[in-house]
Amino acid sequence: MKPSTAVLLAGVSIAAVGVAQLVQKHRQHKQDVDTALSHIQIEWLSRASSDPLEAAFWAPEGVEPEQYQRMLSGNRMLCQLSLRWRLGVVTRRQLDLYADNLMANATCRDYWKQFGSYREAEALGNKRDEAFNRALGNAYQRAMSLAA
């Protein structure tokens, strides 16, 4: 191998390592931001699901604050699972299992019935979030067919 070819290959190898590091840093930064934003949301859901005044302030028209508090509690559980899914610590098989477990609870089903379509619209274009919502929607349908 000519020395110039060896130098060129070494340079390309170093550049490839640098690009891989940049990609990994970008991925890690996105996960850090996702985790921080999810923490803020889960913290608010915890507060609103336990504070009647906060729930009354944010409850949609036609939804009683007590019922809204229950739904927010269910949403908190779904958000925690969603974060684990987005971070890649839950497999597809586990996602289906956990979704079925959550939808066995009336609180999560009530939340999904009221707000599932909003979550689905919000996720459009994000394949990972779409897959998560599809798993929840399927679990909801299975739970509703068992309840009927």
Whole-prediction pTM:
0.79
pLDDT in tens, 81-119: 999 999 999 999 999 999 999 999 999 999 999 999 999
Q: Does residue 74 surpass a pLDDT of 90? A: yes
Burial (CB < 10 A; 0-12, 13-18, 19+), residue 29, is: exposed
